[in-house]
Every structure is written in structure tokens, then in C-alpha cells.
Structure 1
């Protein structure tokens, strides 16, 4: 579900976000621009939490999906925690009002400085992903004279996800401790005075649209919990990560949060553990669109049409990086029965990979028309860059009939002013 819908507005129907026409935002802020619906963020978070009712679960939103302070603050007010993978993300979560007691620190390559910062900040849990990291954190905690709450992140050798580059649970991936090492390393962590060992964590991938790998991962985690307890080791928390997919375009709908909750509870619901989850894409993907304006329509002698937008791969990298599909909608709704033509929808960056879609059927469009790339709230702005010296794309948050620019577009002077010449260059 999302809160982008067609409403009457001269000269006809057009696309709105909640109670604000997207054309108004485009005129005021310029394009390209990300637009987020507060109502969608709130709805998706509530749907996920309610799916487990009456059981209480811990939900730490995966900051990497969309690290906007405004988005984080919106979710923090709803009670969400934060799943973080860098010192910067911890700092963002804290700045947005997420209490340290609801922040989880994950990631396969945490530096000593980041681990020290996490301890100083008092995050609720640090997920250990290797034996070396276990010993490094123990040494840092000992030096500080503090006790760290930790979980062991398990690689259950169950890979899943919408693309090989977002699969994280296979033994070929870099993440987590192999299942064969869990009992030894868990016992070692429990024996160290620097640690309060909470339990186990796993995350097998992103954009998962089928249940078989999820159920296999849940079953593998159940087996590990039972084996650890049989060996006399306490396990009070089981973090099953995130990864549940969202509908992009015309693909079959993924399982719902209610379906997901049933699969979790059917598999591990009787273990008497605190259940924790780290959804990201599921919360924010449908809450955002990338609003763009057509620069020109370029037609080759062969008849191939290129719809050239002012948005580019540096603004939304997913199609170039993952061959990801995003629905593309004209902001002004075409008349019923309008003829559709195939377009290659591209940006202005000097890369053939700067392509959002090939042979996408769309109604006739012309220079100046607005289009919205849908389901762009996750891994859009958070992966954007200034490639080709294009100013970073701005972000807007909508709530009802109000909207606010939450990340302004920098001027060229601001962009260039961050750099310095070497002294010998004058």
C-alpha cells in the first residue's frame, strides 16, 4: 500500500502524495527530487508490528534502506529501533531520536574505532560476525571497563534475495559465522567477562519473495538455539533480520507481513525467546517516489525512442546496479485509451548504464512533462552520489497537506566549496 494517488487538478487528473500534488513540489523544489509519504511509513510499520500481535517483538528499522533524518525521526516516534552498520548510521539514528537502547550495530567490517564508539554510545546490541571481531571487541570492552551486549550473527548457508548482489546468507557470502562454528564461538563469548551474550542473529538477503528459503533459515536457527541450550548455554534473543520483499512493477506480489509472521511463529514461536526483526525496504520502498522531468524525447531513424529525464543513475542507482524494475508513471494522468509507445527511459549521465527501463510502454510524453519512478523510497537517496558533478538529489517529506524539504539540493558553489586545492596548485 502507498499514499500516491490520482486526484482531480486542472487540467485533469494528476498524481498526488497524500494531500499534496506532486506538480506543486516539482515547481517549488525543482527536479529530480525524492518525495516520501509519512502516512505510508506509519502504515507499513504498524502492519509489520501488528502481524505478530499479541506477541511483542523488537523492530529495528534497517537504516541503510533510507537514512533520511526525517524518515528516521518519523519511525522513531512510532517506537522503531534502528539496525545500523556504521558509526555514521548510529550517529544518524541518535540524532533522529532513536534511543541507544533500541539501536543494533551489525556489519562484517566494523573498525576498532566504530566498536569503541558503539560501546560509548551504549547501543543495545552488537552483532558479532567473526571470531576475530569477537576477540577485538572483547579487548576494546576490557580496555574501557565496560560490558557489551552481543549476539552472534549466523550464516545459515541459505541464500535468498532478488539479485545475487543482495544475497547475504549463503556460505559464499562474506557475512556472519558459519553454522559449524556457532557452538564453539558462542561458548567462548559466554565465557568472557566482557560480554553479555543475548543470543543469535541472521539475515539471509533482501527482496525475498518466496517462503522456502525463509523457512529453511528459521528452521536452521531453531536447531542452533536448541543445540546451544542443550549444551547449557542461555539464548534469550533471536534476531531473524529483514529481507521480506515488496512489489516492484507487475511482478507477483510477495508474501505479506501476516504471512511472514505466521511462518516465523510456526517455526520458532514456541522457543521462549525474544524475537527481533530488522525490516528496511518493507517499510520505506513504497513510501517514496523519485520525481523527474522530461528533458527531451529523442527518436532514432530506426524508430527507437529515448525518453531523456533529468534524473540519472547517480540519483537512483538500483536499475544500473541490479537491473531493478521501477514502475514509471506520468504525473499528469493520460486520457482513457491514450496510445502507449515503447520508450527507453534514460538519464543524462555519460554511461549507457544510465538507463531506468528499456522498451517501457508509456503514453506520449514531451519535454517538460513530469514522471514519477515508483517504489523508490528504499536504496534510492541513500545510494545517491554526485557522479558527473551533479548536485545531490533533494528529499521532501509529506504529511497530510504539508510538505518540507528535509535535504536541500546543494548549490554548485556549496558542492565545489567542500573541496580544497593542494597547496602547490595555488
Structure 2
């Protein structure tokens, strides 16, 4: 098992742990052993014990983890709005950690034990200390640090950014003050003055409101490609400036000087003498030149990150200084906190008199609200790795040099994500998982695809049990069948049919019970399987007039047919009587109707028994034993009772044993009146297994349960829980399963001289068919989800259950291409036209003209729900024989 160490238990460490575990589970691979080290002495930004007035600086809508969206997790009436407390987000993160099978270790890591782990990921976040910290100053974090400030003292605070606002709130609201009716109401425990000082003399701009939908579509989105194409910093600044100008125009607040103001803001030469006025304008929501530039930068930031990160920075000389100016405009406090700061200023608690002084004013307490910069800093683990030669700094930066998947340059199994890579990977300080691909790429490298089909596998893999003839189908032969018969086409082969039936008969022979097999025709309409039953001497179970008519025409003798239709029109009963077919009568009323239709001609019947609902689930088929005892207490005209029939749901051997015993009790009571009873027919439900691998099935069930409970990300179409599916892995099956039943009831059957009749459909057709469909297109849904369109519709590989849980095979006719992971969609013009509801992964790509082979579909999946809606023809059915493929007679 792979051993992984993640150094740092913050949001990025969580994301990394989730990704490697999710990928491992989705690919059916062993889940790695993950140790997560978290320094208990560090001040976590999401400490659950911190006060609720310390808020996140991103809208809650972007916050999500493996258990889902934060806004779905939280109480919708918590009153915190779209910028909730960091403590609340911390509790969400803790709940996210709680569902992961990881070892969380509260210990500071001073050195890496590379021999103990196969993979190591550094995700250490903010440094606790750094050389630029003010000596003797009080830090803002963790909560409680500012308790050293006594009421009435004067407090100087270095910095005027987000941490400064946290300090102001801690020294006011945290001491009993409150905001009411647009003003601050003091508690009397506040400092006499809170005095920020900075080198720049600037406050952060209030976070601009999001763009309107029109602005997003017509201003922001058209600018995104231009950012990616920018060849230099001036060209990039030009794109941002033009976007800001259009946003200012769209707001209706621009004037003739807007362009000049925007240029000044971009250059950092705009006026700094009225920061209080700028704060008031921001709180009022005014779309100023600063706000327009900040909004443009923020909305284009994903493209800026992509353009700058890794090698892109080499052609953006001077970007660092420009970005520092822009971040103050784009990522400032939300209006909620800016309003509070303004009220504190108006109340005289906060004064801006020393904002641009660059040095601390005279004060009783000095507070440092400047956080450690994003880079490799002395005293950190990553700095030690650099000094030891394990890691290196990227040229002309103070950041770790990393590959696109976070792997340290020069290493193969040590990686880093976060602030220590900031000058290589831009924008690490975010809760958003949409900004970067480093962690998913790292997880992809770590997990890989060991042992998986390199062309196609599902999520998670469900590898089909294949017959040799299925594996022998080539891309050329499959494409030829599609060219001749259209897409999709059902390909049939009857060899396994005869083998499967013989397995059941052999079980009877081992247990000295006469077992006879009646193929359930409803499982597949092709006549090839009727022909195989005729040739092998088996019978057929029919469920409609056309099934009976076709089966008789195929040469099956009437005495080897049982009619078990749920609804039996008079014409169907007459056809059965005319041909000596045994009728499974479903009710007393049907028995007497059959008696009248027979008009004196003898007809063989098997009354259908509804077993005691106290012993198994209730059924709509048949009548209770007491009803049949009364109805058959005397002979019935034209009726010859030859057996008892039972229709059971599911595959439980215990249910069959109970039903057989109840049927034998009924036979014991009926035999004196109806001495010709010779068999019990327990219908179908003979188990088979589509999969060979029990572990794959168990891993799927575990992953599905976690998805349904919200403990992991959905891997199905729209999160469909797939609550009703066939048991695709079963054991024992067929003969071995029947051995277990006959071991319990065989002696009683032999004592009464009774045969056991079975009506398998799916189990006889195991290994007898595949469905081929041509790939028609590859595209994305409007939200970017990849879609692989095929020439088929969802009724053609579907039963009454939720989905077909077996991986297709890709018969490639086109060259390899980029990986695609998405959903198979079909031809019907509806949104949920999905062929398979699990996500499918094509590691080496897929393209129009390729062929998908859906294995083992002969049992029910081809025909039971097939539809010709849209006037699209039904799939043709081709039988493979000694002389090559031929169209089945059902399609003549």
C-alpha cells in the first residue's frame, strides 16, 4: 500500500487527501495510507475557537470540499450572509476531514523522513514567524493575543489590510461593543485609539460587487482569451484597463476623465490623500475607477493565474509590483466589514492620522498585522529543504521551483503546494478549488492507473467477465457490422446458452432430482435462442401471443412450453390449448375462464402459488395456498393439474427453499383429487455474475453509499444514487447455487416423485450477447462536463433497474488523443438521455468513429425496454455462426 505524508492540515492539505483517496476509490485501487501532520502551535486561519466576527474574505458560494458545498452544509438561516465566520468554515473543514480514512498527527515537522513515505506533499500554509516581523509587537492571531491591550490604551497597528480589520473588531466588538443603526456603540473597554500606519498610506479597496450577467457575458468573458494571449506586462495591463473602462461605462458612473483615472490606478499614481473618502465610496457601492480596475483584475484572475504561473512569468517582467497594487483593489474586505471599519472611524476609535507615516506613532501597545509574505522564509521546513539541497528556488525568485503537478524540481516523490511557491504559481491564498490544477495533477501522478484498462474504464472500474468470442471482436469487424446494420447493433452467440442450461441439469443429476430448463423467452426476443433450446431438448417459457406463436413456429413442441403471461387474452389461451401448452394460471378466475375456453379439450395447468407473505415479500403473482385448495377441491372441467408454479422476485436461495416446501404442502393436499401433479416450477431468478472481481463490486458499493450520504463527490450523472440495480457480482451462481437448494429439498422432491422446473432467462443468456454502438461526437455540456455521444438511445441498454454497471470496451478505430472523462449520451432529445450513468474515463482519448462494445447485454438489456421513439429504428440482431454473422429471423 502506498504511504503518503501531507505536511499541513489546512484547506490544501484536505483537498490533497480527498483527491488521492477519491481517485483511488474511483479507479478501484487500494486506498493509500495517508498521514497528515499539523503543527498544533500554528495559528490556523480556520480555528473553530476563533470569534464569529472574524470572517472569510471570499464569497461562501466558492467553498466546497469532498462532502459538498459549504452553503449546502451550513444552516441557511445562520444570518451570516455570503461572508461567513472563519470558525464556521473551520467546522465545515473538520466535518470534511472526519469522513476521510487518514491519520491526523498534531506535530510540527522539522525534517522529512523520506524513507518512511512513498510520497510527501508540503502544504504548510502561512509561516508562524518571519524575519520581517516587528520585534516586540503583539500579533493579531491566534484569538486572545490582543487581550494584553488594556482599555483606554493607545494602539499602533502596522498594516491596514484584512488582518488590521480583524484587530479592530477584536478590540471593539470583542470587548462588548456593537454596531447599531449605522454607528458604533462603545462598551467602555475599547482602546483610546487604534492607529494604523503603512508605507503606502492606503487602505484596501472595498471588495467590488460581482459583475452583472450582462457584464460577465459581454465584458469579462470576451477579455479572457486576450489575457492568455498577452505577450508582455504592458499588453496584459492594457487588457485589464480596457475591461475596467467598459465596466465603468456599463455602471453609468464614468465621466470624461474615467480613462485617465483608470490609467492612474493601473500605474499606482492615483491620489492617496482621501482614503477615508474612498472607503465611504466603496461602502456606498460606487463603481469608481479603483473599483472598476479591481473588479476587472478579480474577474480575470483565473486567466491571469494561468498566464503567469510556471514559465509564463518570464515574459511578465515587473508583474509582482503590479499585482501587489491590484490585489489591494480586487481582494479587499467585503462591504460588511468595510462598513464596520467606517463606523469605528466615525466613532473616533480608529484614526487614520498616521496611515501614511511609515513608522509607528507614539502608543502604549504596538500590534503587527502584517502577515508573513508568500515565499520561502527562514525557519520553515521548506527553507531547510533548500539549504539541504533537497529543493531549490526558482530562478530570480524566493519560491520553491516546482513542476505543474507540484513535484519539486529535481525530485520525483516530494511535492509542494501553497504560499512557498507563490512566485512560480500565482494566487495560492484562496479557498477556491477552481483556480489551480496543481493538486489534481499531483493526485493523478500519485494514484496513476495501475492495472486499469488503458483505453476505457468506468468510475469505479467494473470489469466485465468476457467470453472468448467477445474478446475476439476486432475494431474492423465491429465497424463492419455497424456499417451494414446501423448503430447500435446487437451481436449474439448461442454457445454459452447451451453450456449454462447444461450446468443446471447437471446439478439436478448430482442431487438425483429431475431438473428441466424452460428458457424465459421475454429475456431476449431473438429466435436464435429458441432454436438453441429446441436443439438441446429444453423448453421455453412464453409471456405473450407473439412469443408463443414464434416459439411454436420454430419447432418447439407444445408440451415443452409453459405459458406464464401475467395477462392472458382469450386468443392467447386458445393458442395454448390448441397446441398442448401448459398454462400457469394466475388466479381462480383465470382457471375457470381457461376451462370454459377449452370446451372439453384437456388442458394442462400449473396453478401459480403466492407464497405466505410472512416468509417472504408479498407478490402480485398467483393466489394463496388456501385459495387454491378451495378452488381445486374438486375436479375442474377440461383442466388437468400437472404442477404448481411459483413466481419469485430476486435470487435468494432461502426463498426458493421456503416456496418449494409450501408448494409441496399444497401438492400433498391436491394430489388425491388431481393425481397427475408431477413438477414444481419456481420460475426464474437463477443468479449469474457479470463480474469476476468481488472486490470491485464491494468498492463500488462502498463508494456509492458514501456518494449517496454526501461523503464524497458524485461520480454518477447528476449525483444519481443508483439505489435500484442488479447485483452484478454474485456467488454462488447457477449449478452451485442450485446444489445448495437441492441439498435441502431434494429428498422431499424425490419422495414425491416431483421434477423441478426452472425458467431462467438472464442466467441462460450469460455470455451470449454484446451491443455495439458507434461514437458520434465528443463535446462538453454547458458547464464543461465532457459528453461522449453514441449512436444509441437509453432504452437499448436498460432494464427496469437504474443502470447497467459493467464497463464497456473501446474498440479503437481512431488515433489516440487527450484523456476524456465524461458521460455517454444518446440520441433522444431529452436532457437525461444517458446510456450509462457512471462517469467513464478514456485515458487515451475517444473520437467519432470509435466503437463501444457493451458486454453481456443479451439478458434483458437488449430488448425489454427498447423504443423506436423519434422514428429511430430498433437495433438489429446479428447472430454469429459457423458461416459468419447473419441477421436473426426476428428481424426478417
1:305 to 760, 766, 786: 786
1:186 corresponding residue in structure 2: 632
How far has the Cα of 1:362 moved from its partner? 2.7
Q: Secondary structure at the match of 1:381?
A: coil
TM-score by length of 1: 0.80
Q: Does 1:30 align with 2:486?
A: yes
8 A contact 2:486–2:875 mirrored in 1: no
Alpha-carbon shift at residue 345 of structure 1 (Å):
1.4
Q: Does 1:75 align with 2:533?
A: yes
Moved more, 301-310 or 284-293: 301-310
1:244 is aligned to: 686
After TM superposition, list the pairs within 5 Å mapping 1:336-351 onto structure 2.
341-351=820-830
Which residue in 2 is equivalent to 1:416? Answer: none
Which of 466, 471, 480 does residue 6 from structure 1 map onto? 471
User: How many Å separate the matches in 2 of 1:101 and 1:233?
Assistant: 19
TM-score by length of structure 2 reads 0.40
What displacement does 1:329 show? 2.2
Deviations 1:251-300 (A, max 9, x none): 43243112232133223322220221111111114311111011111213
CA offset at residue 241 of structure 1? 1.0
Aligned-partner SS, 1:187: coil
**Structure 1 residues 58, 295: CA separation in 2 closer, same or farther (over 3 Å shift)?**
same
Q: Is the alpha carbon distance of 1:94 and 1:317 closer, same or farther for their aligned partners in structure 2, counting shifts above 3 Å?
A: same
Partner of 2:839: 360
**Is the 1:3–1:40 Cα contact (8 Å) retained in structure 2?**
no
2:809 aligns with one of 330, 339, 352: 330
Q: Separation in 2 of the partners of 1:383 and 1:4?
A: 26
The Cα of 1:326 is off from its aligned counterpart by 4.1
For the Cα contact (< 8 Å) 2:866–2:874, is it kept in 1?
A: yes
Q: Deviations over 1:154-184 (max 9, x none)?
A: 1114699xxxxxxxx843x431112331322
Supply the RMSD in Å over aligned alpha carbons.
3.0
Residue 415 of structure 1: aligned partner: none
List aligned pairs for 1:32-51, cutoff 5 A: 32-51=488-507
Matches for 1:124-163 after TM superposition, within 5 Å: 125-141=582-598, 143=599, 145-157=600-612
Aligned-pair CA distance for 1:246: 2.7
Aligned to 2:870: 388
The change in CA–CA distance for 1:63 and 1:263 in structure 2 (over 3 A counts) is same
Structure 2 CA distance for partners of 1:53 and 1:111, relative to 1, 3 Å:
same
Query: Could you tell me whether the CA contact under 8 Å between 1:314 and 1:387 is conserved in 2?
Result: no
The offset of 1:408, in angstroms, is 8.3
1:87 equivalent to 2:545? Answer yes
Residue 393 of structure 1 contacts residue 409 of structure 1 at CA under 8 Å; is this kept in 2? no
- Partner residue, 1:257: 734
Native 8 Å contact 1:57 1:275 kept in 2: yes
3-state SS in 1 of match to 2:888? strand
SS of equivalent residue, structure 1 residue 116: helix
Q: Please state whether the residue corresponding to 1:60 is helix, strand or coil.
A: strand
Alpha-carbon distance change, 391 to 157 in structure 1, aligned in 2, over 3 angstroms: farther
Q: 1:192 to 1:322 in 2, by over 3 A?
A: same
Residue 312 of structure 1: SS of its match in structure 2?
Answer: coil
Distance 1:397 1:53 in 2: 31
| Greater alpha carbon shift after TM alignment, 338-347 vs 59-68 | 338-347
8 Å CA contact retained: 2:606, 2:642: yes
- CA deviation after TM superposition for structure 1 residue 192, in Å: 1.8
Compared CA separation, residues 109 and 257, structure 1 to 2 (3 A): same
Change (3 A) 1:140 1:300: closer
Residue-by-residue CA offset, 1:208-240 (whole Å, 9 max, x unaligned): 3443333332333233334445x6653321111
Partner of 2:661: 219
SS in 1 for 2:471: strand
- The CA deviation at 1:340 is 6.7
Distance 1:158 1:301, change over 3 A: same
Relative to total residues, which structure has the larger strand share, 1 or 2? 1
Query: 1:115 aligns to what SS in structure 2?
Result: helix
Give the Cα separation in 2 of the matches to 1:408 and 1:105.
Answer: 20
Per the alignment, in what secondary structure is the counterpart of residue 556 of structure 2?
coil
**Aligned equivalents of 1:120 and 1:310: distance in 2?**
43
**How much does 1:391 deviate?**
0.8
Q: Which residue of 2 aligns with 1:369?
A: 850
Deviation at 1:2, TM superposition (A): 2.9
CA contact (8 A) 1:202 1:240 kept: yes
Distance 1:280 1:159 in 2: 28
Distance 1:252 1:80 in 2: 27
Structure 1: gaps (5+ residues): 8-13, 161-168, 411-426
SS of 2:687's partner is coil
Does residue 60 (structure 1) correspond to residue 518 (structure 2)? The answer is yes
- TM-superposed CA distance for 1:366, in Å, is 1.3
Secondary structure of the corresponding residue to residue 657 of structure 2: helix
Partner residue of 2:52? Answer: none
- Write the distance in 2 (CA, Å) between the matches of 1:196 and 1:359: 51
SS at match of 1:41: helix
1:34-80: per-residue Cα shift (whole Å, max 9, x none)? Answer: 00112222222222222222543221111111121222112211112
Give the conservation status (yes or no) of the 8 Å contact 2:657–2:745. Answer: no
Q: Which one has a bigger Cα radius of gyration?
A: 2
Q: Return the offset for 1:382.
A: 4.7
Distance in 2 (CA, whole Å) between partners of 1:201 and 1:361 is: 42
Deviation (angstroms), 1:107: 2.1
Q: Residues 408 and 126 of structure 1: is their aligned pair in 2 closer, same or farther, counting only changes over 3 Å? A: closer
Partner of residue 760 from structure 2, selected from 279, 296, 307? 279
Distance 1:263 1:187, change over 3 A: farther
